[in-house]
Chains A and B, each alone.
Chain A
Amino acid sequence: MELEAAQAFAMAIKFIGAGLMLGLGAVGAGVGIGVLGGRFLEGAARQPELIPMLRTQFFIVMGLVDALPVIAIAMGLYLMFAA
C-alpha cells in the first residue's frame, strides 16, 4: 500500500512537471511572438513597401523565439507519454 501510494505520487509529480513544461513554454512563446507580431504589423502599417523584407525577418526571429518552447513541448510530451 505504501509502495502504491509512492508510485502514484511519483506519477502525479511527473505529470505536474510535464504540464509546467508545456504551459510555461506556451506562455513564453505567446508573449514573445505576440510582441513580435505586433511590432511587425506596426512596421508594416507605417511602411507598407518594406513588407517583404519585414516578413522574412519576422519569420527568422519567430523561428528563433519558437525554438526553446518547442523543445520544452517535445520533452514534456516525452515525459508524459513515453518515460
Chain B
Amino acid sequence: MDSYAIEVDHLSKSFGDVMALKDLTLQVGVGEVVGFLGPNGAGKTTTLRLLLGLLRPTSGEARILGRPAGSPFARQNVAYVPGDIALWPQLTGRETITLLGALHGSVDEAYRDQLFERFELDPEKRIRAYSKGNRQKVAIIAALATRAPVLLLDEPTSGLDPLMERAFRGCITDAAARGQSVLLSSHMLSEVEHLCARVAMIRSGRLISVADVAELRSHVGFEFDVVGDVGDLSAVAGVRRVISIEDGVRISVSGPPGPLLSVLGARAITSLRTREASLEEIFLSYYDGSATLRP
C-alpha cells in the first residue's frame, strides 16, 4: 500500500522507569479496519494516546495521513472513542456532542441525528443521568458524526448491549466502505473477527505480530477423534500430531483437512468426529503467551 492512514515507526514510550511501549511499528491503510489486541496493560491505550498527541513519544514517531500525530492537521482528521470516558456531568448528551463537534470543526448533523436513532440515545439527558453504556454511545456518536478519515477506538463497545454492538458494527462497516480508516482496540474477539481485515497483537509493550485475519483462518486447525485402525499417518500432509485417547486417537491437523480425509477413507474406521479450533482460541494463545504467530 503506497500511503497509510496511520503509521507508527519504532515508537517507544516510557513513564519514568516503566517502559510502556517498546519499538512499535505498525501501519493502517486508508479504508482499512485493523484490530489491536492484547492483554490488559499491554500498551494499547498508550499507543492510541500517542497517536492522538496526548502523550509524547520517548522515541520513534507516529503519523496520521502522513503528518505527525498531534499536529493540527492530524487532530482535524482523527476522531477518538476512549475506553474510560470522562465527560462534563452537567452537560446533556447533545451538548457534549455539539461541543466535541465544534472543537473538531466538522459535523455531519444529519448523520448525527441518524446515529441518535440507530443507537437509541435520548440526547436531551444530562451526562450524569446516563448509564455507562449510554455515555459510551455519546462518545461513539461524537466520533462517527465528525466523519473523520481516521477513527481511533479504544474498547468502544464496552458497556453496550448486544443490539447496540450490532449497530456499532454496522456503523464501522459503513465507515470503512466510505474510506475511513479504523484502529480498533478491543477485547471483543468476535467483534475484531467480524470487522477487521488485519489484527495487530501486542504484549508487554511489544508488537508480537500483525496478521491478516484470513491468514489466521488458514492456520486454524482441526482435530479429529477417530475410532478404528488409522495406521501410520506421519506422511500425510497437514498432520501435526496423533495422540491416543480413551477409545481411539486424536489427530491434530493444520491447514486443509482434505489429504487426511482421503487417507482415512481407505482405512477401517468406525467413527469420526471433528472440531475446528476457533480464531478466539488462537487469540487467547497469544494473550497468554503460549504461542507465536507464524510469519
Indicate, yes or no, whether A interacts with B.
Answer: no
- Which residues on B are within 8 Å of A, measured CB to CB? none
